[in-house]
Amino acid sequence: MLVHEGETRSPAADRALALSLAGVAGALNTAGFDAVGLYASNMTGNVSAISDRTGTGDLVLAAQACLLVVLFVLGATTSTLMIRCRRRKAGPGAYAYSVCAEAFLLVAVGLLVLPLAEPVRSHTLVLGLSFILGLQNAAVTKISEARVRTTHVTGMITDIGIELARWLDRDASASDRLKPHDPVRLRLYLLTVGAFLGGGLVGVVAYRLVGVALLFAAAAILACLALPALRR
């Protein structure tokens, strides 16, 4: 799942990647939203919030949303640099190192926020998660050549609509030079959205029950996913 990249990946590998990492991302995203009312991975919403809050004069919330966007970008930049550097030495196994880094950072953020009092704890938590999810999204995007995106679902839902249109227009002849319906990709998109939704439901319930321990559980899952690739 974390070794093969691009066109060498099988549909099963893409589905496994989507199911596992979209589930984790959905859980972390809803945990952050439940904690402080801000999304750690929804950059569309955060960019809109910057415009809205700036226009209404709420500069504090505008600054918070801006910081989330910056941290997400920095996470994606860090992940890409890490993968590029590691690939020069170890080939495709570099993606597993990025997932391991995500697990390590989840533990670090969890330990950092544990002694903090509210509301500082919640705000620090969502800021850390934004960086971590930016890191994850860059790694998943690169290894799948953008077929899989795990930290947001706007693109996936759009792709579902496109595939449904192709399915409805499946009687078009080959001479039309139109791309045909791809049921494999449709299943991948549906699985990604479903995993993000299911992970989000689990995440908000778990965060209310165990709090920051959710981050440690997510870190353990990610470490288990990365170990087979690291052993190879």
pLDDT in tens, 48-68: 989 998 998 888 888 999 999
Q: Residue 92's pLDDT is what?
A: 58
Domains of the chain plus CATH, in order, are 17-36+71-231 (1.20.1250)
CB count in 10 Å sphere of residue 119: 10
Averaged pLDDT for residues 130-139: 93
- The pair phi, psi for residue 119, each rounded to 5°, is -90, 5
pLDDT bucket at 218, cuts 50 / 70 / 90: very high
Let me know: does 201 contact 214? Beta carbons within 8 Å.
no
pLDDT range class, residue 90, cuts 50, 70, 90: low
Q: Which of 85-89, 99-103, 112-116, 184-188 has the lowest mean pLDDT?
A: 85-89
Confidence of residue 25 (pLDDT cuts 50, 70, 90): very high
Share of the chain above pLDDT 90, in %: 50
Sign of the alpha-carbon dihedral angle for 108, 112, 113, 114: positive
Res. 83 pLDDT band, cuts 50 70 90:
confident
CA angle 45/48/51 to nearest 5° reads 155
- pLDDT of residue 14 exceeding 90, the answer is no
Region 201-211 average pLDDT: 94
Express each pLDDT in 166-183 by its tens digit: 888 877 655 566 777 888
Q: Specify the pLDDT at position 91.
A: 60
What is the C-alpha R_g of the chain? 19
